[in-house]
Amino acid sequence: MTITPPLSRSQQTAEEILEPTPMTKLRRRIFKNHSFLIGALILLVIIAIAVLAPLIAPHDPYDQDLARRLMNPFWHDKKTDSLFVFGTDKVGRDYLSRLIYGAQISLLIGFLTVLISGIIGTALGVIAGYFGGRVDMVVNFIINTRLAMPVFLVAMAAVVAFGASIHVVIMVLGLFLWDRFAVVMRSITMQARDLDYVTAARAIGCSTPYIIIREIFPNVLSSLTVVATVEMANAILLEAALSFLGFGVQAPTPSWGLMLNEGREYMFFSPWLLALPGTGLFLLVLAINLFGDGLRDVTLERER
Amino acid sequence: MINKKEVVLEVKNLSIDIPVSQGILHPVDNINLHVERGEILCVVGESGCGKSLTSLAIMGLLPKNAQRTAETLELNKEDLQELTERQLADIRGNRMAMIFQEPMTSLNPSFTIENQLLEPLLRHKELSKDEARNQVIEMLELVGIKPAEPRLRQYPHQLSGGLRQRVMIAMSLLCNPDLIIADEPTTALDVTIQAQILELMMSLQEKFNTGILFITHDMGVVANIADRVAVMYAGQIVEEGPVSEIFDNPAHPYTRGLMGCIPVPGKLGQDNTLGTIPGMVPSVVNDFQSCRFGGRWDENYKENFEPCRLTEVPKKRRSFKVNLNEKHLVHFCCDECLHLSEHTLVEGSS
Amino acid sequence: MADTMIYGYDLVKEYPISRGMFKRKELLRAVGGVTLQVNKGEVLGLVGESGCGKTTLARLILGMIPPTAGSVEIAGQNINKLARLERAKTIQPIFQDPYSSLNPSKTIGSILTLPLRIQRDRESHSWEKRVRQTMDLVGLAQRMYNQYPNQLSGGQRQRVAIARALITRPAVVVCDEPTSALDVSVQSQILNLLKELREELNLTYVLISHNLAVVQHMATRVAVMYFGHVVEEEKTNILFEEPKHEYTKKLLGSILVPDPNKRIFNKKE
């Protein structure tokens, strides 16, 4: 039998359970979860870049100069310029600056879309899950109607109808990506509704809004954030795809998807025009997914 | 009574260690027990005392991170520790069967009752499908499922809890095992069904002369079915003996405390309150330095009472066994408890 | 004559069971016409097997669900017509599982203060004092005020649940299997506590349990439920000595007494 240094039992009274508080446990688990830490780190770096864009971007991302078009990035030998680290695009705009401002666009679209769709979906889901019955049936019908509509086609149609702009993209995505929020929130709220502490809250006279906001909502928050990360990655990719096809953000705004489109014709001669915004998108979506996965592990374990 | 009974299960110095972040858990600590053919040994204790882990250890079904050490672990004189996983699988369900608390988790929901009952027979015995099927029907009727034929085509979820447990019992008896390990088999059932199932188990056990290791927390069940009882507390067997001895003449303070906690009409203390065991079960992380039962003595135990509060017990002197008589064994974790209990140490015990 | 505390008259609760979207709904009768009366200071034990409707009946008495027919009066007032806060001050539940009845993200102190806050109790400066007094009353150590439910044992959590039910001083407490999730040594502590509190605070209990020994120990009167009906109701000692209904006899015949000399099975030898 292995003998390890014993804990001093005399220091504790017999009735004590040595369990840390929920917050301490959560903190410990966060520092053990590598995917969460890596995802959070990359995400923080990208967010910092986006927020500090005016300070760190070396040039104005809209500043054209045909004389210096298609400069090579620093790892090439010929036709480089130390002022343009990642080279320039077909109209001579600094590619690094456009990439930095592109992060702004992607994150902005991601956050705002998730905010709008999150509010719609959570409200519908929580209401359906808590009240059940007829309300649930109506909400289910709305969810099914929404699922029957192809996001991409409707988004393209909306852009054609209202004109292409970043606002239209955000509104369309926000009004369409709430289905997963609604489905997940509905089922979680249904489970939470039957927990004894919710019944106890009703018995001590809490009102329904109070129960939903103070007793149920904090306990579905972790699942909500996990869905939010998935939807955010989804929204960013959809925006990139729409912009790539010309139905999203319009030139000259520096969106990564639009940059991919603009670089398409130079794919074989200047592949970095595609590779750089592609890497940006890849890193951002990867970071968000790692973060979301890690968050799920960290918080779900807490509930176990 | 027949004097020399055949021992079906022999366990000596069984320990389970589980490494956790705070050290090493010792949920089961050097326990000894044996089951004879045709007897029911009830292992009784509260949650976390190690009784379920003991049964899993005997079957070789411990979780991967748990380590089992034992001096002896024999089923019918055959050493279970030496067997390969394959040989063990042959023994489980054949010579050693198990019945769990929730039959729904041990019956596969996507197979019919017939499929599940045929499987062990076809696997362990050389029988044709028709012969096996006849045996299955016979066994189902024996456990009170009559008529058995229509039930064969049903799925577990179509049966009630009581019926499912009957199916489990039929399944465990099909290969005529030497030993049945039953882990809280009636805890999830209603009282009337529980009584039926227990009665069934007892009559079948008599018929097949199997040994049963019955794990439960319910003293009522113990009193009604056990031949012998082993009381577990904090990973150790604190008292072991014939059922009448344990109930009429409990010797360990924990057993006494437990008996006092159960509401039995006409057996209450003054002012109609139930007895309690003060304090809480100590955590089983690392080696015990202090007395396991320290501070939990009930003041009614005797007059002029001063409970054992040893915080340091020398390692060599952490185990005392007292033989009250040939069969009744009490186990103390420190000499202070032994002294307090006013039992005297029998020569030769450790 | 003692005061009538709970009066349930011809209570019926039916649940619709959906059989698919376009089929007619079937009705499941969980409670089918129960009349009961509990006097102040009494402990009514409700026994029966799973699915017999005892938990539904308890929720009807608590006013958590509206009855399909019939009415419940607590201290002379119809429970379903009482305002939410009034109802909460009259009758409180204690649940079976102390692990799910406490919100894991709140401290014991805030769990116990919530009823006072919800009642918009004026003397907010005395909240903490009253919470701490109630903790004392149920035998919780003061240091637990700032701890979380996961730091307490099952017995301690059940004490918290009891304290939460009692802090607004209700007249009636409905205990739904208050000890069946607990070990016997903890069960006895909780049962003793419930008994003491009843005497100290002059409470009326409805005690639901499948454990007949617990009911026999605690209850002054016992109602036996079977398929949504009360088949027999009698003073505890009379019911246990001379059961009249066939089902009661069967139920009592299944009790396993923890005494090897009183076995109900015929054993070999």
- Helix A179-193 vs helix A133-148: crossing angle, to nearest 10: 160
Put simply, whether C240 touches B (Cβ < 8 Å) is yes
pLDDT score of A212 more than 50:
yes
| Contact residues, chain C, for A204 at CB < 8 Å | 88, 92, 114-115, 118, 164, 168
Instruction: Tally A–B CB contacts below 8 A.
Output: 38
Q: How many degrees, rounded to 5, is the angle at CA B57 between CA B52 and CA B60? A: 130
pLDDT score of A80 more than 80:
no
Residue among C231, C49, C45 nearest B196 (CA): C49
Q: Are the CB atoms for C88 and A203 separated by under 8 Å?
A: yes
| Nearest residue in A to C85, CA atom | A205
Contact between A205 and C119 using a beta-carbon 8 Å cutoff: yes
Of A21, A197, A210, the CB nearest to C103: A197
Q: Is C43 within the bounds of a domain?
A: yes
- Most confident of the ranges A239-248, B36-45, B74-83: B36-45
Query: Which sign does the torsion angle of CA C134, C139, C142, C147 carry?
Result: negative
Average pLDDT over residues B245-270: 79
Q: How many CB atoms lie within 10 A of CB C12?
A: 16
Say which range, B187-196, B277-286, C230-239, has the weakest mean pLDDT: B277-286
Say which range, B119-123, C6-10, C173-177, has the weakest mean pLDDT: B119-123
Dihedral Cα B91, B97, B100, B104, nearest 10 deg: 80
pLDDT score of B350 more than 50:
no
Contact between A204 and C104 using a beta-carbon 8 Å cutoff: no
Q: What 3 state SS string does C171-201 have?
A: CEEEEECCCCCCCHHHHHHHHHHHHHHHHHH
pLDDT score of B30 more than 90:
no
Q: What is the CATH number of the domain that holds C207?
A: 3.40.50.300
Q: How many CB atoms lie within 10 A of CB A147?
A: 12
Confidence of residue C18 (pLDDT cuts 50, 70, 90): low
Average pLDDT over residues C252-267: 82
| Contact residues, chain B, for C184 at CB < 8 Å | 46, 217, 219, 258, 261-262
Q: Three-state SS for B284?
A: coil
- Selected residue with higher pLDDT from B326 and A7: B326
What is the structure's pLDDT at A6?
31
Confidence of residue B2 (pLDDT cuts 50, 70, 90): very low
Average pLDDT over residues A137-166: 89
Count of domains forming chain A = 1
Write down how long chain B is: 350
- Selected residue with higher pLDDT from A1 and B268: B268
What is the structure's pLDDT at B182?
92
What is the structure's pLDDT at B227?
92
Of A2, A9, A15, the CB nearest to B290: A9
Contact between A205 and C62 using a beta-carbon 8 Å cutoff: no
What is the structure's pLDDT at C21?
61
Contact between B17 and A18 using a beta-carbon 8 Å cutoff: no
Contact between C95 and A17 using a beta-carbon 8 Å cutoff: no
Measured CA to CA, the distance from residue C46 to residue A84 in angstroms comes to 82
| Nearest residue in A to B282, CA atom | A14
- Selected residue with higher pLDDT from A15 and C10: C10
- Helix A256-263 vs helix A217-244: crossing angle, to nearest 10: 20
- Residue from C49, C177, C179, C183 to probe the interface with B (highest B Cβ count within 10 Å): C183
Say which range, B234-238, B261-265, C153-157, has the weakest mean pLDDT: B261-265
pLDDT score of A196 more than 60:
yes
Say which range, A98-102, B155-159, C25-29, has the weakest mean pLDDT: C25-29
- Residue from A3, A7, A9 to probe the interface with B (highest B Cβ count within 10 Å): A9
Q: Are the CB atoms for C141 and C165 separated by under 8 Å?
A: no
What is the structure's pLDDT at A295?
86
What is the structure's pLDDT at C203?
93
Contact between C49 and B190 using a beta-carbon 8 Å cutoff: yes
What is the structure's pLDDT at B174?
86
Say which range, A44-53, B25-34, B310-319, C218-227, has the weakest mean pLDDT: B310-319
| Nearest residue in B to C256, CA atom | B220
**Domain of residue C177, residue span:** 4-99+171-262
- Selected residue with higher pLDDT from B52 and B275: B52
Write down how long chain C is: 269
Contact between A7 and B279 using a beta-carbon 8 Å cutoff: no
Put simply, whether B220 touches A (Cβ < 8 Å) is no
| Nearest residue in A to C94, CA atom | A200
pLDDT score of A168 more than 70:
yes
Residue written as tokens 């029911």?
B40
Contact between B15 and A1 using a beta-carbon 8 Å cutoff: yes
| Contact residues, chain A, for C165 at CB < 8 Å | 203
Task: Give the helix/strand (H/E) hosting B281.
Answer: none
What is the structure's pLDDT at A67?
80
Q: Which chains touch A (3 or more CB pairs under 8 A)?
A: B, C
Q: Are the CB atoms for B52 and B215 separated by under 8 Å?
A: yes
Q: How many CA atoms lie within 13 A of A238 on its CB side?
A: 26
Give alpha helix (H) positions in chain A.
22-32, 34-51, 53-56, 95-131, 133-148, 151-162, 166-176, 179-193, 196-203, 208-210, 217-244, 256-263, 272-303
Q: Is C203 within the bounds of a domain?
A: yes
Say which range, A103-107, B330-334, C95-99, has the weakest mean pLDDT: B330-334
Q: Is A229 within the bounds of a domain?
A: yes
pLDDT score of B113 more than 70:
yes
- Residue from B42, B44, B190, B201 to probe the interface with C (highest C Cβ count within 10 Å): B190
Average pLDDT over residues C121-134: 88
Confidence of residue A300 (pLDDT cuts 50, 70, 90): low
Contact between A14 and B285 using a beta-carbon 8 Å cutoff: no
- Residue from A19, A136, A193, A196 to probe the interface with C (highest C Cβ count within 10 Å): A196
Measured CA to CA, the distance from residue B245 to residue B228 in angstroms comes to 9
Strands B72-75, B7-20: pairing kind: antiparallel
Contact between A203 and C150 using a beta-carbon 8 Å cutoff: no
pLDDT score of B319 more than 80:
no
Contact between A6 and B17 using a beta-carbon 8 Å cutoff: no
Contact between A19 and C150 using a beta-carbon 8 Å cutoff: yes
Contact between C184 and B199 using a beta-carbon 8 Å cutoff: no
Nearest CA distance, A4 vs chain B (angstrom): 7
Confidence of residue B349 (pLDDT cuts 50, 70, 90): very low
Measured CA to CA, the distance from residue C145 to residue C136 in angstroms comes to 11
**Domain of residue A126, residue span:** 101-304
pLDDT score of B348 more than 50:
no
Average pLDDT over residues B172-186: 89
| Contact residues, chain B, for A14 at CB < 8 Å | 279-280, 282, 294-296
Say which range, A21-35, B65-79, B87-101, has the weakest mean pLDDT: A21-35
Average pLDDT over residues A19-23: 74
Confidence of residue B90 (pLDDT cuts 50, 70, 90): confident
- Most confident of the ranges A247-256, B26-35, B139-148, C38-47: C38-47
What is the structure's pLDDT at B265?
67
Confidence of residue A38 (pLDDT cuts 50, 70, 90): very high
Put simply, whether A3 touches B (Cβ < 8 Å) is yes
| Contact residues, chain B, for C257 at CB < 8 Å | 220, 223-224, 264
Contact between C214 and B223 using a beta-carbon 8 Å cutoff: no
Q: Is C220 within the bounds of a domain?
A: yes
Confidence of residue A71 (pLDDT cuts 50, 70, 90): confident
Give alpha helix (H) positions in B249-299.
253-261
| Contact residues, chain C, for B217 at CB < 8 Å | 183-184
Dihedral Cα B249, B253, B259, B262, nearest 10 deg: 170
- Selected residue with higher pLDDT from C106 and B295: C106
Q: What is the CATH number of the domain that holds A118?
A: 1.10.3720.10
Put simply, whether B74 touches A (Cβ < 8 Å) is no
Say which range, A107-121, B90-104, B288-302, C233-247, has the weakest mean pLDDT: B288-302
What is the structure's pLDDT at B304?
53
Tens of pLDDT, residue by residue over A213-232, are 888 888 788 888 889 999 99
Of A22, A207, A210, the CB nearest to C104: A22
Q: Which chains touch C (3 or more CB pairs under 8 A)?
A: A, B
| Nearest residue in C to A21, CA atom | C148
- Selected residue with higher pLDDT from B149 and A301: B149
Put simply, whether B2 touches C (Cβ < 8 Å) is no
Interface list for chain A against chain C, based on CB atoms closer than 8 Å: 15, 17, 19-22, 195-197, 199-207, 210, 215, 218-219, 303
Put simply, whether B269 touches C (Cβ < 8 Å) is no
| Contact residues, chain B, for C157 at CB < 8 Å | none
Of C185, C214, C261, the CB nearest to B263: C214
Q: How many degrees, rounded to 5, is the angle at CA A150 between CA A145 and CA A156? A: 125
Q: How many CB atoms lie within 10 A of CB C15?
A: 14
Q: Domain residues of chain B, as ranges? A: 242-340
Strands C69-74, C221-226: pairing kind: unpaired
| Contact residues, chain A, for C62 at CB < 8 Å | 203
What is the structure's pLDDT at C123?
81
Nearest CA distance, C247 vs chain B (angstrom): 10
End-to-end CA distance of chain B: 30
What is the percent of chain A with per-residue pLDDT over 90, rounded to a whole number? 32
| Contact residues, chain A, for C64 at CB < 8 Å | 199, 202-203
What is the structure's pLDDT at C19?
62
What is the structure's pLDDT at B269?
53
What is the percent of chain C with per-residue pLDDT over 90, rounded to a whole number? 48
DSSP classification of residue C67:
-
Average pLDDT over residues B290-300: 66
Contact between C151 and A303 using a beta-carbon 8 Å cutoff: no
User: What are the two backbone dihedrals, phi and then psi, of residue A5, each rounded to the nearest 5 degrees?
Assistant: -55, 125
| Contact residues, chain C, for A200 at CB < 8 Å | 93, 95, 101, 161, 164
Q: Are the CB atoms for A186 and A136 separated by under 8 Å?
A: yes
What is the structure's pLDDT at B340?
66
Q: Is A18 within the bounds of a domain?
A: no
Paired residues of B31 in beta bridges: B14
Q: Is C128 within the bounds of a domain?
A: no
